[in-house]
Amino acid sequence: MRDTQFSSRVITWQKAHGRHDLPWQNTRDPYAIWVSEIMLQQTQVTAVIGYYANFMRSFPTIEALANATQEQVLQHWSGLGYYSRARNLHNAAQTIVDEHDGVFPQDFEVVQTLSGIGRSTAAAIVSFAFNQIQTILDGNVKRVLARHFLIEGWTGSPKIEKHLWQLAESLLPEKDMVAYTQGLMDLGATICTRSKPKCDQCPLNNTCLAYAQNRTKDLPTPKPRKAIPQKYTTMLVILQGNEVLLEKRPPSGIWGGLWSLPEIDMQAIATEVVATRFGLHAEAEEPLALVQHVFTHFKLEILPQPLRLISKPSQLNDPNMVWLPVEDAIGAALPTPVRNILLNLNQ
């Protein structure tokens, strides 16, 4: 099969059967496309749609995003996960304003220098916004190529990934880049899915080697499994009337820049920590139900420990700490498990 046949089939299929009504489609605005591509990294379309609409309402332009505070950006991202994406998006918007007069750059290499934008994301942006001929290689595309061309080996390994980039470049069409790029995404998301692929509906099924050899279940080769570490923490739910104490996390790392509940080691005595660390006197109440949260590289078990203040504290002078009514705290820029703890507290 000639390379042009692969791309032409994808393009023809996308125009007839692909997705055409997603909120970030049918636009050439690089900002709107960029926001959607960052949100879609490691996140399902259905989860992104609502966040995308709210985000674009609050930050309709690159300049609006650049002028926002990081906390405002994180608040709009709260619950979507992988918060470094939001911090990078905010930082890149400021770079575009400072170094590119607020205009999203068209140069493919320059786009890749912006925070949080790698080669595949940059390719998607310039393909959709500027009709440039650049190939994407996200997880969906890797799966389509691995199955169609019977490529064995974990697609995240440097050797296999290099081969996939070369293959993807050889398949690029000379025109219809928007339809081709969207078609690859749509095929991986709706037809060539991780489990139960709809091979009978695939426009590439008569040339797909995995389908011919009944090996779609085997490919792509799974990532070598490693034991996922289990970590434990206690989160302090320090209450004063209907207010709860929140503490801002460090700007980088897990949940960087978000508001959260103060954490202590599970072996520590909560009342003693509260007294020495915050200068507060409190009585411990019965712990709430354990909360399990899974990150990419480890599992976290959280013990929420409520404490009720005995006496009213003096005014907080620490900008990284704040008392908020529980109802207001729930709407702040919080990690999902922390919001769930507070929601259960209100029930």
Helix axes 84-100, 70-77, angle to 10 degrees: 140
- Tokens 């930082």 appear where? 91
Say how far apart CA 20 and CA 12 lie, in whole Å. Answer: 13
Query: Whole-angstrom Cα distance, residue 263 to residue 278?
Result: 12
Q: Specify the DSSP class assigned to residue 154.
A: B
Distances (CA, A) of 197 to 8, 91, 139, 147, 209: 21, 38, 15, 11, 14
Q: Which residues contact 250 (CB under 8 A, 6 or more apart)?
A: 256, 257
In whole angstroms, give the CA distance from residue 191 to residue 132: 26
Which residue numbers are catalytic? 37
User: What whole-number distance in Å separates Cα of residue 330 and Cα of residue 324?
Assistant: 9
**Contact yes or no for 332/259 (Cβ under 8 A):** yes
Could you give the count of Cα atoms lying within 13 Å of 81 in the half-sphere of its Cβ? Answer: 12
The CA angle 247-252-257, to the nearest 5 degrees, is 35
Would you tell me the crossing angle of helices 139-148 and 158-170 to the nearest 10 degrees?
A: 80
